[in-house]
Amino acid sequence: MERTLWNPVMEAISPTDLKKLEQQKLVDQIQYVFSYSTMYQEKYRQTGIAAKEITCVQDLAKLPFTTKTDLRESQIRMPPYGDYLAATADLVNRVHRTSGATGQFIYTALTHNDIKITNDCGARAFWAAGLRPHHRVVHCLNYCLWMGGYTDHSNLELTGASVFPFGVGNSRQLVRVIRDAGINVISSTPSYPAYLEDVVRDELGIEPKDLGLRLGLFGGESGLENPSYRGRIADTWGMQPQNANYGVSDVLCNFASVCGETYQLHFLAQGALLAQLIDPATGEDIPIEEGVKGEMVLTHLEKEAQPLVRYRTSDILEILGTGPCRCGRTGFRFRVVGRSDDMLNVKGINVFPNGISQVIEKMVPDLNGEFQIVLDHPSPYISLNITAEYGAGINPDQKDAIARKLEQKIKTVLFFTAKVELVAPQTIQRTEMGKAVRVLRRY
Ligand SMILES: [Zn+2]
């Protein structure tokens, strides 16, 4: 019989067993961090806390958070891996660099054992999304230093599927390879298929549906939580668009995916990561229960090279379920509401670019889905200026009417006032992943 879970021991672990396992691993990991990580030794010396005071998950609240700034400063103090490197540099086996969208890089080092754990969690996610050994999958993320390239490739490979390392660019060659090699799965960002549609028609003279792709393993961008966005990919390509690749590059490459039963992300890093939620404003712990929202804080449970304790991810999650899923997995289910650093306060209402994106997606094809929030001054805001691109088939004469319609929808659905300006497709500045830059600060 085919296995339904990649790692049933971990993915279907009971809450009692998980608690026991986390406790045990946490005590060992904290002891390791206190013994070998100079950054944490210094951080904790200032608080006066000793390793032996951390005996359970609740005790972690006694320790200060770790932030991206801590990692950056640590790598400036001790290049390239930082003084949070707890293993000897000789044991480092693979190194990635975070993507440079913000202009500040972090080197992420992995030992042989760290790679094994990373691969296992990644395989759990891709397997949950439906990838199987009989599949042929083309991996179209950037291989240049980024974890999403080579490490995701090795995660895909572990499932037994045949993996074609394509990378980014050269899309005309890509569609030919997909057709010629009988590839049926694509791993990419969710916005990539929309770009490929025209290439398929142009280069091969066929409809995207006839190319043969049946499963999409997507990650790296938001959008898929919106059923109309998924419906558009499914209708155009005849493939199942799966949200299969959620990770935090400084912590763990991929540890969450949807399953065949529900379109909710499942936490799949049991035994490797301890996930907690906090109130992003006060730093108070929030218990993981259905319906709560909070910023995810992660602690490694078995990490050798660069172990992190209470790392603030900036990702705001909403917990959708905590009991076992119909698929048998017991990890909590969640959706990513937004980034705490993207959160804007408009007359007391918390606004996330993701929320605006969902309203805009519902207005395709009048709009093409791309937009930007333009900020002229720091918070607080009484309204937001939003620039959005109209759809390819729209006559510019219609744009004022469409802009007013969007303003009204934002008011009804998100309860804040927006001033919308529509511009031609491809006008808004794009990131290196090809998405519009969502927030532009002009101050
Ligand atoms: Zn499930």
How confident is the model over 330-378, as pLDDT tens digits?
999 999 988 887 778 888 787 888 889 889 988 999 999 999 999 998 8
Q: Are 242 and 129 in contact (CB under 8 A)?
A: yes
Domain count, the chain: 2
- Answer yes or no: do 281 and 148 share one domain: yes
**What is the whole-number distance in angstroms between the Cα of residue 330 and the centre of ligand 1?**
8
Last residue of a domain, one of 290, 321, 339: 339
**What is the whole-number distance in angstroms between the Cα of residue 326 and the centre of ligand 1?**
6
**What is the whole-number distance in angstroms between the Cα of residue 245 and the centre of ligand 1?**
15
**What is the whole-number distance in angstroms between the Cα of residue 255 and the centre of ligand 1?**
14
- Answer yes or no: do 170 and 215 share one domain: yes
**What is the whole-number distance in angstroms between the Cα of residue 333 and the centre of ligand 1?**
8
What are the start-end ranges of the E strands in 343-443? 344-346, 349-351, 367-375, 384-390, 418-423, 439-441
pLDDT at position 102, please?
A: 52
Query: How far is 435 from 405, CA to CA, in rounded Å?
Result: 23
Last residue of a domain, one of 318, 339, 360: 339
**What is the whole-number distance in angstroms between the Cα of residue 128 and the centre of ligand 1?**
8
**What is the whole-number distance in angstroms between the Cα of residue 273 and the centre of ligand 1?**
19
**What is the whole-number distance in angstroms between the Cα of residue 106 and the centre of ligand 1?**
33
pLDDT at position 301, please?
A: 98
- Answer yes or no: do 320 and 350 share one domain: no
**What is the whole-number distance in angstroms between the Cα of residue 209 and the centre of ligand 1?**
27
**What is the whole-number distance in angstroms between the Cα of residue 412 and the centre of ligand 1?**
33
**What is the whole-number distance in angstroms between the Cα of residue 27 and the centre of ligand 1?**
30
- Answer yes or no: do 305 and 362 share one domain: no
- Answer yes or no: do 300 and 356 share one domain: no
**What is the whole-number distance in angstroms between the Cα of residue 324 and the centre of ligand 1?**
8
- Answer yes or no: do 30 and 48 share one domain: yes
**What is the whole-number distance in angstroms between the Cα of residue 264 and the centre of ligand 1?**
8
For residue 142, give the DSSP letter.
-
**What is the whole-number distance in angstroms between the Cα of residue 335 and the centre of ligand 1?**
13
**What is the whole-number distance in angstroms between the Cα of residue 296 and the centre of ligand 1?**
20
DSSP 3-state helix, strand, coil percentages of the chain (rounded to 5)? 35, 25, 40
Across the chain, how many H-helices and E-strands are there?
11, 20
- Torsion 378-379-385-388 (CA) sign: positive
**What is the whole-number distance in angstroms between the Cα of residue 267 and the centre of ligand 1?**
10
- Answer yes or no: do 280 and 384 share one domain: no
Range of the domain at 402: 344-441
**What is the whole-number distance in angstroms between the Cα of residue 7 and the centre of ligand 1?**
14
**What is the whole-number distance in angstroms between the Cα of residue 250 and the centre of ligand 1?**
26
Report the b/e string of 385-412 with b at 16+ CB within 10 A.
bbbbbbbeebeeeebeebbeebbebbee
Last residue of a domain, one of 311, 339, 367: 339
- Answer yes or no: do 285 and 414 share one domain: no
Residue ranges of the chain whose pLDDT lies below 50? 100-101
**What is the whole-number distance in angstroms between the Cα of residue 260 and the centre of ligand 1?**
6
Q: Are 295 and 277 in contact (CB under 8 A)?
A: yes
- Answer yes or no: do 167 and 265 share one domain: yes
Q: How many CB atoms lie within 10 A of CB 292?
A: 15
pTM, whole model, 2 decimals? 0.85
